[in-house]
Structure 1
Amino acid sequence: MDASQPLSQTIHFVLPDDRHLPSGGNIYNEQLIEALISLGQSVKIIDFAAYREAVLHDQEGIYGVDSLFVEEMKPLIGVRPAKTYSFFIMHHLQSLHPPAGVDATLFFEEHEKEVLDFFQAFLLSSAYSKTYLLQKGISAPMMVVEPASTLASSVSSLPPDLPVKGLMVANVVERKGILPFLEALSSQSEKEDAFVLNIIGRTDMEPDYFDACVQLVETSDLKNKVHFLGGLEHTATLKQYAQHHLFLSTAHMETFGMAIQEAKVQGLPLLLYEGGHAAKHLEDGVGMLYLQISELAENFIKLSRNNLEILELWQSAKADTKIYEAYTWKQAAALFLNFFRDFL
């Protein structure tokens, strides 16, 4: 059977109300659903309340639950419906980056394992996530469907002249490591350093954290150098890659790193903190990996002072965009459907 042929059953995606707002998980869900529909698959988006009723009344169907609903799932873990087939869409788990002072293993055992044991299958965006779940003793079938590269109209085309323009695409939350990076940037840079750092991402998710970032910028030499552009639409974000020289990621944990992938295929060198799956993007990408956020800040400053090195990096990354294989969201959707046939 053709792997791209739709399933006879409707696939219900249980998604958050803010699914229209920019985040890697929301974009992944949206693109996969659009691709499934383009292949003729019947898809329906529902809220968690509707899913809860389906489970409690054992309604027949296929349901994919976004990982944002771990807490909401807890009242359902004792229910074992026979006809409601549920799979977990894992974008993130808090045990991957627990609160300060909290043991990750203990957090997983106490807050996540019973929820995950409820599900009959898992949809994962990377082999990193699969390895993590296997190490935690999860044995249900796992579908690894990596996101496709979303290409803009052109790769990076900004002439590499000073000031160097760096780009971060990350919601301003603690897990993304933005505050310690700004602290390192502030302490290591000189007033005369000429660089620009634009940060694209939502600022409303952890308001106190965002306020701390803004306060640091406004009261240091980073003022007029670091700019928070807010949560832009995905199409607007794609256009920004061509206006920058470097891409930076300081995230403590990435289960995939869609923005990193986008920057790579748009021809930007990558400066990455080693968090989760992030390092994998350098296997066929141009850039550097850092074990300390302070080292990433230090090298960004050094690069901003060396126009020749920036030029060499930028030209190398731009030339390498031709090597990336075309992998579309339709192919991702077909892979998803093919995996599902094996599990049902």
Structure 2
Amino acid sequence: MGRLFPGLHRLTVRHIRLLVPGNIRHSSGGNVYNARLVAALQALGAGVEVIAVEGAWPDAGAHDRRRLGALLGAWDQETHPGLPVAIVDGLVAVGAPDELEFAAKAGRQTWVLVHMPVPEDAGGRALLREGRALRAAAGVICTSTSAANELRKRGLPQARVVLPGVVPAAQACGSTPPHLALVAALLPNKDQLLAVEALAQIQDVPWTASLVGSDRADQAYAQEIRGAVLAHGLQERVRLTGELTGETLENEWAKTDLSLLLSRAEAFGMVVTESLAHGIPVVVREETGAVEALGMAGLTAADGGPRLPGAVLRLPAGGQESPGLLAGVLRRWLGDAALRESWRAAALEARTRLPDWSSTAREVLALLGARD
């Protein structure tokens, strides 16, 4: 390992302990990032232990916070050789600033992995807890540039960016009529309701669509989406599949021609690069981290500007005009063969230029080694 990754030979014999929230059981970008990172670290020879920390994070009770502190070695004042380097998922860390501060005082090396910063509207107490937790850490790893920039604005300059990798995937064949997919848990932030309202305005042209994601994360919102599908008479064209994994998810990607990620707030949007890995263009919302994901391959147009494998739309959250704006873009895409081919060609080129998870793992190891 020392020869494979110079300067990090000590990490091959030391232990990395990844602490993740046990209360997030539906598929999410954070969960996927954590799992892929672990697999890539192990492939590079690092020893990684993953512990799901139970508790209602980030608002866990005192018992769960104390158990986290024990896992961090916060209460152990003796220094032992070979202590693990801890990486704590940000959702857990921001709920336990006391424990991270005690761990720092005990000389433990604890890093925080931030998938999405605490929202500004969460209130001063939540932002204060986040600041304390991250300042107590040996280092902060952000999974997107937007997350790091937000933390820097809050006075946390030590935030470092390690973007997610991509798993190579089979090229999608598409469908006739064109098939659209929205792959995300059914949550208000993901704004699948906007997509349903937009699709209701283009029923005069042929298409089908799937909403692929957990309907248990917010059952009331999932029911609202089902009601909108029925109210617009879209039940024969819009399918709610629930959460899909493995071969069933791959089958869904295989028949998809266009994917949409309409999140109102998104630190990165790994589903965007997952879509591009299948050669499928994506429509994302402006002023979200999904824009970074869409441009990750760094494609360049003839004029020297960015060439996007899809489109970035300005869709104001709650704006009455948003369904119409989205419907107009989808109508143009469905009716313009040249536009569809242009987006698809860009997605197919991006597919060959996406980074792998080994690169992500090497960057994480480099950060840990720099402070080892």
TM class by smaller structure: 0.7 to 0.9
Percent of pairs identical after alignment?
20
Partner of 1:51: 68
Query: Is the aligned partner of 1:118 residue 2:136?
Result: yes
Query: Is the aligned partner of 1:151 residue 2:168?
Result: yes
Instruction: Give 1:119's aligned amino acid.
Output: A
Instruction: Kindly report which structure 2 residues correspond to 1:193-232, keeping only aligned pairs within 5 A, or say none.
Output: 193-232=205-244
1:264–1:317 Cα contact (<8 Å) kept: no
2:212–2:241 Cα contact (<8 Å) kept: yes
**Which residues of structure 2 form unaligned runs of 5+?**
54-63, 300-307, 316-321
- The partner residue of 2:105 within 67, 81, 85 is 81
Give deviations 1:114-149, integer Å, cap 9, x for gaps. 232232211221222221111110133x34221111
Say which SS state the counterpart of residue 15 (structure 1) adopts.
strand
Say which SS state the counterpart of residue 210 (structure 1) adopts.
helix
Give deviations 1:306-325, integer Å, cap 9, x for gaps. 16246424542354246515
Question: How far does residue 260 in structure 1 lie from its aligned partner after superposition?
Answer: 0.2
Instruction: Give 1:151's aligned amino acid.
Output: P
Partner of 2:371: 343
| CA spacing shift, 1:217–1:11, aligned 2, 3 Å | same
Under a length normalisation based on structure 1, what TM-score does the superposition of the two structures give? 0.85
2:309–2:347 Cα contact (<8 Å) kept: no
Instruction: Give 2:194's aligned amino acid.
Output: P
Partner of 2:302: none
Question: How far does residue 199 in structure 1 lie from its aligned partner after superposition?
Answer: 1.4
Partner of 1:290: 313
- The partner residue of 1:171 within 185, 189, 193 is 185
Give deviations 1:127-183, integer Å, cap 9, x for gaps. 22221111110133x34221111122x212125x32x21011111112212223323
Partner of 1:33: 38
Aligned residues: 330
Say which SS state the counterpart of residue 181 (structure 2) adopts.
strand
| CA spacing shift, 1:135–1:238, aligned 2, 3 Å | farther
Q: Distance in 1 between matches of 2:309 and 2:48?
A: 38
Partner of 1:237: 249
**Which residues of structure 1 form unaligned runs of 5+?**
none
2:269–2:289 Cα contact (<8 Å) kept: yes
Structure number with greater CO (CA < 8 Å, separation at least 6) is 1
| CA spacing shift, 1:40–1:77, aligned 2, 3 Å | closer
Say which SS state the counterpart of residue 204 (structure 1) adopts.
coil
1:143–1:336 Cα contact (<8 Å) kept: no
Taking only aligned residues, the RMSD between alpha carbons, in angstroms, comes to: 2.6
2:117–2:150 Cα contact (<8 Å) kept: no
Q: Distance in 1 between matches of 2:364 and 2:100?
A: 25
Partner of 1:16: 21
Under a length normalisation based on structure 2, what TM-score does the superposition of the two structures give? 0.79
Partner of 1:189: 202
